Amino acid sequence: MSRAWCSALPGGVRLAVQIQPNAKKTEVIGVLDDALKLKLKLKLQAQPIEGKANEALVRYLAEALSVPRSAVTITHGQANKRKLIEVRSETLTVDAVEMLLLLLIP
């Protein structure tokens, strides 16, 4: 099993992320080294109620990766801070996604 937080899928990529809602601003803060798997860690300004944090996450990733919001789907962890996300795009590669998101770390 790969420990990478970004992996290739047919027609896109899968991201393993961990979110921290109720932050002062929405941003990527780094890569979390979990014992089992690496995860991209993001702070979200939105509250974790009524899907607000999930919607903020989808909107942020879509904008950062220049894909439509409909191309970003939370496949696991809708009610959890740890999530798996699929981004459907024929043009995005794992290297491109890693570069685009890691460049956002302050």
Q: Are 15 and 61 in contact (CB under 8 A)?
A: yes
Domain ranges, residue 44: 6-102
Q: Where residue 1 falls among pLDDT bands split at 50, 70, 90?
A: very low
Please give the pLDDT value at position 106: 85
Q: How many CB atoms lie within 10 A of CB 52?
A: 14
Q: Based on the structure, what is the number of domains in the chain?
A: 1
The pLDDT tens digits for 67-105 are 999 999 999 999 999 999 999 999 999 999 999 999 999
Exposure string for 76-95, b = 16+ CB within 10 A, e = fewer: ebeeeeebbbbbbbeebebe
Residue 3 has pLDDT above 90, yes or no: no
**Has this prediction a pTM greater than 0.75?**
yes
The pLDDT tens digits for 24-61 are 999 999 999 877 789 999 999 999 999 999 999 999 99
**Residue 1 is assigned to a structural domain of this protein:** no
CATH number, domain at 48? Answer: 3.30.1200.10
**Residue 90 is assigned to a structural domain of this protein:** yes
